[in-house]
Amino acid sequence: MPISIFLPASMKNTTLFPMVPMAWPEAKVPMRISLHGKRTDLENTSKFSGFTLMELVVVMALMAVILSVSFPRIRTSMEADQHRRAVERFIVMLENSGKQAYEKKEEITLVLAADGRSMQGTGGEGDIFDFPDSFGVQTMRRAGKDFPETREIGFYPEGYSDPVFFWIDGVRGRRTLIMHPLIMRVEVVDGFIFPEGWDHE
């Protein structure tokens, strides 16, 4: 059965549930953006997001100082390494010449060039050894009275060599390379020295 509600005539234009206008709190406060007011977080962040010209100049100046100090040391280290490797190759050449003379049963003679910058077999035979700019042969001497200078060293099929030593000078300082004749091995000694017992008639 439907239910009917009868209202008095005086209440026909009356709202049973009055509507109250609602508003969010944020809506009551107008948002204002000021171009001259307090900086926002984004503005503060962008202030430190890059380098100033002065900071870049300081960094570049520091880099220039570091390079000026480290580059000479790097160059010296590279030259010293080149010197070491060249000396090692020279020693290997001398010792290998002794081995070849013994194995092939033939005499091998190495000759130092007049300018002291290279060494090769007699008559231009065999491999040539070019001394690098990092070091050079100051003198080449042999055993005997007053250690006479020589430009040749011989290796013999019997298994020995001429008693010869070299004074070399370079970025790693002065050193003496002694070719021991009976064992055909090269000894490296710091400084310019005369092998003990080699000064004889």
- CA 38/CA 40 separation, integer angstroms: 6
CA 158 vs. chain centroid, Å, equals: 46
Best CA proximity match to 161, nearest among 196, 192, 185, 187: 185
> Does the residue 62 lie in any domain?
yes
Which residue type sits at 18? P
Answer yes or no: is 19 within a domain: no
Number of separate domains in the chain: 1
The pLDDT assigned to 27 comes to: 47
Q: Per-residue pLDDT for the chain (201 aa), expressed as one digit of tens each?
A: 555 554 555 555 555 445 545 554 554 555 554 445 555 554 555 455 567 888 888 888 888 888 777 667 777 777 778 888 888 999 999 999 999 999 999 999 999 998 888 998 876 677 788 888 777 899 999 999 999 999 999 999 999 999 999 999 887 789 999 999 999 999 999 999 999 999 876
Tokens at 156, concatenated = 């013999």
Least Cα distance to 86 among 149, 171, 152 occurs for: 171
pLDDT number for residue 13: 53
What CATH number is associated with residue 110? 3.55.40.10
On whether residue 98 sits in a domain, the answer given is yes
Residue 123: the pLDDT is 64
In this predicted structure, what is the pLDDT of residue 41? 52
Residue 63 lies in a domain: yes
User: Residue 47 falls within a domain, yes or no?
Assistant: no
139 assigned to some structural domain: yes
Q: What is the pLDDT of residue 49?
A: 54
